[in-house]
């Protein structure tokens, strides 16, 4: 792992104002304008602009994900011109090494958690972002990161709980006991939050009329390069 990657491997690292609020509003309007092309997941509990690997994996739609990867990236590019490449450049600056699209996988995309949805009412499931890692990655504990750029946070709640608990073979473990350290990241508009993908985390409930909208992608290090996917 590079020195930069070690530096950002605390419970959560925050990089404020990576985008200014006006630009975030413009991006959210463009995302909303592409609503007809959003991918529904888990019966409409959440949506994505572009295809997310973990949702397809959990819904047994892996073939659909890979078959539609090129179309997914083209969709994101039409809705948000240049945004995927900008996110990859941002990640490259962060880790201090080349970041490239993972072959066959979809590039960075957008998560939309609607106000009033099950996630808004109950929060997400505590989980690790290890579903996209190969067995080889897991065996050698390849450095892996999750990046979340908040475009439209909830007006209240909707932060990210991050525990001092790391992956031990189960993607969806039980919530850790109360004595395990936990940070609650209360996102700000335009803020980038980076976590170790092997660290347990959970979206917190939110109760208002505003959808929670974020650009999200994952990285894994292979040699001197980091691979990115959604």
Q: What is the rounded CA–CA span in Å between residue 197 and residue 12?
A: 10
Q: Over pLDDT 70: what percentage of the chain?
A: 96
Mean pLDDT of 31-56: 96
CA-based torsion, 141, 41, 189, 164: positive or negative? negative
Q: What is the rounded CA–CA span in Å between residue 228 and residue 218?
A: 6
Please name each of the domains of the chain with its CATH number. 3-229 (2.60.120.620)
Q: Which pLDDT value is given to residue 169?
A: 85
Q: Which pLDDT value is given to residue 1?
A: 47
Q: What is the pLDDT of residues 142-184, one digit of tens each?
A: 999 999 999 999 999 999 999 999 998 887 888 888 899 999 9
Measured torsion, CA atoms of residues 171, 177, 180, 183, in degrees rounded to the nearest 10: 70
State the chain's mean pLDDT as an integer.
93
Q: What is the rounded CA–CA span in Å between residue 18 and residue 225?
A: 23
Q: Which pLDDT value is given to residue 164?
A: 94
Q: What is the rounded CA–CA span in Å between residue 101 and residue 230?
A: 10
Checking if the pLDDT of 9 tops 90, the result is no
Residue corresponding to tokens 């890979």: 66
Residue corresponding to tokens 């909707």: 158
Q: Which pLDDT value is given to residue 7?
A: 46
pTM, 2 dp: 0.92
Which element (helix H / strand E) includes 89? helix 83-95
Q: What is the pLDDT of residues 183-220, one digit of tens each?
A: 999 999 999 999 999 999 999 999 878 999 999 999 99
């Amino acid at each position: 792992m590079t020195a930069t990657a070690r530096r950002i491997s605390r419970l959560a690292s925050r990089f404020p104002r990576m985008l200014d609020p006006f630009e975030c509003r413009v991006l959210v309007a463009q995302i909303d304008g592409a609503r007809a092309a959003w991918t529904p997941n888990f019966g409409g509990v959440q949506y994505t602009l572009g295809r997310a690997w973990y949702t397809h994996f959990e819904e047994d739609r892996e073939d659909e994900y890979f078959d539609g990867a090129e179309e997914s990236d083209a969709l994101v590019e039409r809705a948000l011109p240049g945004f995927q490449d900008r996110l990859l450049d941002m990640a490259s600056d962060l880790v201090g090494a080349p970041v490239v699209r993972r072959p066959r996988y979809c590039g960075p995309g957008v998560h939309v958690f609607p106000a009033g949805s099950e996630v808004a009412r109950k929060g997400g499931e505590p989980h690790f972002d290890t579903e996209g890692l190969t067995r080889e990655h897991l065996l050698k504990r390849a450095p892996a990161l999750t990046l979340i750029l908040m475009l439209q946070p909830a007006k209240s709640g909707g932060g990210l709980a991050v525990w001092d608990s790391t992956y031990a073979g189960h993607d969806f473990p039980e919530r850790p006991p109360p004595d395990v350290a936990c940070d609650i990241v209360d996102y700000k508009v335009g803020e980038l939050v980076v976590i170790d993908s092997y660290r347990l985390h959970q979206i917190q409930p939110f109760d208002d009329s505003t959808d929670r909208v974020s650009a999200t992608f994952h990285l894994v290090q292979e040699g001197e390069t980091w691979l990115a996917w959604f």
